[in-house]
Amino acid sequence: MIGLGLEETLLQYVRAVGWSVTAAVGFAFGVGIALKVFDWLSTDIDEWEEIKKGNIGVSLIFISLIVMVGLLVYKVI
C-alpha cells in the first residue's frame, strides 16, 4: 500500500476483515441450508447413519455439496 496514509491503510484492513467475516457467515449459512435441503430431498436414506457406518460414497456426496456451496458463496461475495 505504497502512497497511502495510516488512516487509509487501517480502513483497508477493516474492510478486509469485514469481508472475511461476511464470507464466513455466508458460507456457514449456505452449507447449513444446502445440507438441510439435501436431507429433505433424500427421504428414503438416513445419510448421517450411513456416514457413521463408514459409507464413503455418502460422505463424498456431502463433501462435494459443501465444496460447491463454498464456490458459490465465493463467487457471490
d(C-alpha 55, C-alpha 34), whole Å: 20
Q: Give me the tens of pLDDT residue by residue for the chain, a chain 77 residues long.
A: 466 688 888 999 999 999 889 888 888 888 888 888 888 888 788 888 888 999 999 889 888 988 888 787 777 76
Average pLDDT, the chain: 84
Give the number of C-alpha atoms closer than 13 A to the C-alpha of residue 71, restricted to the C-beta side. Answer: 6
d(C-alpha 47, C-alpha 39), whole Å: 8
